[in-house]
């Protein structure tokens, strides 16, 4: 499944898209890391989310994987479905 978020700039844009989506869900970075860890059943640290959202010129910046955005999009859909 492809993300619905447009990503013309690649990994840099994905980090911004991830941050925007996380904030629209009202999640902290720590909550997003916990949600990703729960969905993937693999560790995801707060520091990882911070690195994904970091400005690309920062030494600690890491590309945000598309699957992380897909997880947040799925959580957003679940939240919408539950509110109906």
Quickly state the pLDDT bin for 21 (edges 50, 70, 90): very high
Q: How far apart are CA 39 and CA 75, in angstroms?
A: 10
Tell me, what's the pLDDT at 8?
47
Angle subtended by helix axes 29-40 and 66-83, to nearest 10: 100
- Answer yes or no: are the C-beta atoms of 61 and 55 closer than 8 Å: yes
Tell me how far CA of residue 54 lies from CA of 35, 44, 77, in angstroms.
Answer: 19, 16, 26
Q: Average pLDDT, stretch 35-56?
A: 97
**pTM score, whole prediction:** 0.84
Mean pLDDT of the chain: 89
């Amino acid at each position: 499944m492809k993300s619905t978020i447009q990503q013309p700039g690649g990994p840099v844009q994905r980090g911004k898209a991830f941050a925007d989506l996380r904030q629209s869900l009202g999640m902290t970075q720590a909550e997003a890391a916990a949600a990703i860890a729960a969905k993937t059943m693999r560790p995801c640290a707060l520091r990882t989310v911070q690195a994904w959202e970091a400005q690309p010129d920062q030494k600690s910046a890491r590309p945000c994987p598309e699957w992380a955005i897909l997880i947040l999009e799925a959580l957003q859909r679940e939240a919408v479905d539950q509110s109906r």
